[in-house]
Structure 1
Amino acid sequence: MKFNVRRVPGIGAVVLLAAALAACSPASSGGSKSDGTGPGGTKKVTIQIDGSAVPYYAPLYAAKEQGYFAKAGLDVTFTYAQGSDIVKNVAAGNVDFGFPNGDSVITAYGKGVKTRVVHTTYQQGIGALLSTGRANISSPADLKGKTVAVTDLGSPNYIQLQAMLKQSGLGLGDVKVKTIGTGAIVDALKNGQVDAIVFSRLRYYALKSAGVDVRQILSDQYLPSFGNVVVASPDKVEKDPKTVKAFDDALDQGLEYTTKDPAAAVDMAVQKYAPTFNGQQKDVTTIIQDVFVKTLWQSDTTRQHGFGHPDEARWQKAIDAQAGFKLIDSGFKAGDLVVKPDALG
Structure 2
Amino acid sequence: MRRRPLIRLAAVSVLFTAAACGSSDGGDSSDGGTSSGGVRTVKVGLIPIVDVAPLYLGQKQGFFEKQGLKLEFTTAQGGAAIVPGVASGQFQFGFSNVTSLMVAQTNGVPVEAVANGIASTGIAGKDFSALMVKKDSAIKSPKELEGKKVAINTLKNINETAVRASVSKAGGDPDKVRFVELGFEQMPAALDSGEIDAAQVVEPAQAAVKSGGGRVIASPLVDVAPKLTVAMYFTSTRYAKQNPEVVKKFQDATAESLAYADSHPDEARRIVTTYTTIPANVLARVTLPRWPAEANRSSIVDLMKLGYEDGLFKSPPDVEKLLP
TM-score (norm 1): 0.73
Could you report, residue by residue, the CA deviation over 1:303-332 in whole angstroms, capped at 9, with x for unpaired residues? xxxx1x122221112222222111111103
Find 1:41's aligned residue among 29, 38, 52.
38
Q: Which residue identity lines up with residue 222 of structure 1 in the other structure?
A: D
2:199 matches 1:197: yes
Which residue does 1:254 correspond to in 2?
257
Q: Given the superposition, is the C-alpha separation of residues 329 and 67 from structure 1 closer, same or farther in structure 2, using an over 3 Å criterion?
A: same
Return the alpha-carbon distance in structure 2 between the equivalents of residues 129 and 59 of structure 1.
26
2:86 matches 1:84: no
Return the alpha-carbon distance in structure 2 between the equivalents of residues 35 and 96 of structure 1.
7
Which residue does 2:68 correspond to in 1?
73
Q: What is the Cα deviation at residue 337 of structure 1? A: 0.5
Q: Which residue identity lines up with residue 150 of structure 1 in the other structure?
A: I
Which residue does 1:223 correspond to in 2?
224
Confirm or deny: 8 A CA contact 1:98 1:231 kept in the other structure.
yes
Q: What is the Cα deviation at residue 48 of structure 1? A: 0.9
Q: What is the Cα deviation at residue 264 of structure 1? A: 3.5
Which residue does 2:165 correspond to in 1?
163
Q: Given the superposition, is the C-alpha separation of residues 213 and 91 from structure 1 closer, same or farther in structure 2, using an over 3 Å criterion?
A: closer
Q: Which residue identity lines up with residue 105 of structure 1 in the other structure?
A: L
Could you report, residue by residue, the CA deviation over 1:185-226 in whole angstroms, capped at 9, with x for unpaired residues? 3212112333212232642222222x3242241112332464
Return the alpha-carbon distance in structure 1 between the equivalents of residues 285 and 264 of structure 2.
12
Q: Which residue identity lines up with residue 208 of structure 1 in the other structure?
A: K
Q: Which residue identity lines up with residue 70 of structure 1 in the other structure?
A: E
Return the alpha-carbon distance in structure 2 between the equivalents of residues 159 and 72 of structure 1.
37
Return the alpha-carbon distance in structure 2 between the equivalents of residues 58 and 151 of structure 1.
21
Return the alpha-carbon distance in structure 1 between the equivalents of residues 260 and 180 of structure 2.
41
SS of 1:58's partner is helix
Which residue does 1:13 correspond to in 2?
none
Q: Given the superposition, is the C-alpha separation of residues 283 and 238 from structure 1 closer, same or farther in structure 2, using an over 3 Å criterion?
A: same
Q: What is the Cα deviation at residue 91 of structure 1? A: 2.3
* Structure 1 unmatched runs, 5+: 1-31, 299-306, 340-345
2:280 matches 1:281: yes
Q: What is the Cα deviation at residue 269 of structure 1? A: 4.4
2:240 matches 1:237: yes
Find 1:58's aligned residue among 53, 58, 76.
53
Q: Which residue identity lines up with residue 218 of structure 1 in the other structure?
A: S
Q: Given the superposition, is the C-alpha separation of residues 269 and 204 from structure 1 closer, same or farther in structure 2, using an over 3 Å criterion?
A: closer
Return the alpha-carbon distance in structure 2 between the equivalents of residues 312 and 260 of structure 1.
22
Return the alpha-carbon distance in structure 2 between the equivalents of residues 55 and 222 of structure 1.
22
Find 2:139's aligned residue among 127, 137, 140.
137
Return the alpha-carbon distance in structure 1 between the equivalents of residues 50 and 179 of structure 2.
33
Which residue does 2:213 correspond to in 1?
212
TM-score (norm 2): 0.77
SS of 1:47's partner is strand
Return the alpha-carbon distance in structure 1 between the equivalents of residues 172 and 151 of structure 2.
16
2:98 matches 1:96: no
Q: Which residue identity lines up with residue 223 of structure 2 in the other structure?
A: Y
* Structure 2 unmatched runs, 5+: 1-28, 122-127
SS of 1:37's partner is coil
Q: Given the superposition, is the C-alpha separation of residues 249 and 177 from structure 1 closer, same or farther in structure 2, using an over 3 Å criterion?
A: closer
Q: Given the superposition, is the C-alpha separation of residues 243 and 310 from structure 1 closer, same or farther in structure 2, using an over 3 Å criterion?
A: same
Find 1:319's aligned residue among 304, 308, 320.
304
Which residue does 1:329 correspond to in 2?
314
Q: Given the superposition, is the C-alpha separation of residues 334 and 186 from structure 1 closer, same or farther in structure 2, using an over 3 Å criterion?
A: same
Q: Given the superposition, is the C-alpha separation of residues 239 and 145 from structure 1 closer, same or farther in structure 2, using an over 3 Å criterion?
A: closer
SS of 1:120's partner is strand
Return the alpha-carbon distance in structure 1 between the equivalents of residues 203 and 271 of structure 2.
25
Q: Comparing 151-160 with 187-196, which one deviates more in the overlay?
A: 151-160
Q: Given the superposition, is the C-alpha separation of residues 332 and 142 from structure 1 closer, same or farther in structure 2, using an over 3 Å criterion?
A: same
Task: Give the aligned CA root-mean-square deviation in angstroms.
Answer: 2.8
Confirm or deny: 8 A CA contact 2:116 2:255 kept in the other structure.
no
Q: Given the superposition, is the C-alpha separation of residues 332 and 152 from structure 1 closer, same or farther in structure 2, using an over 3 Å criterion?
A: closer
Question: Equivalent pairs: percent with the same residue?
Answer: 26
- In the alignment of these two chains, the number of paired residues is 287
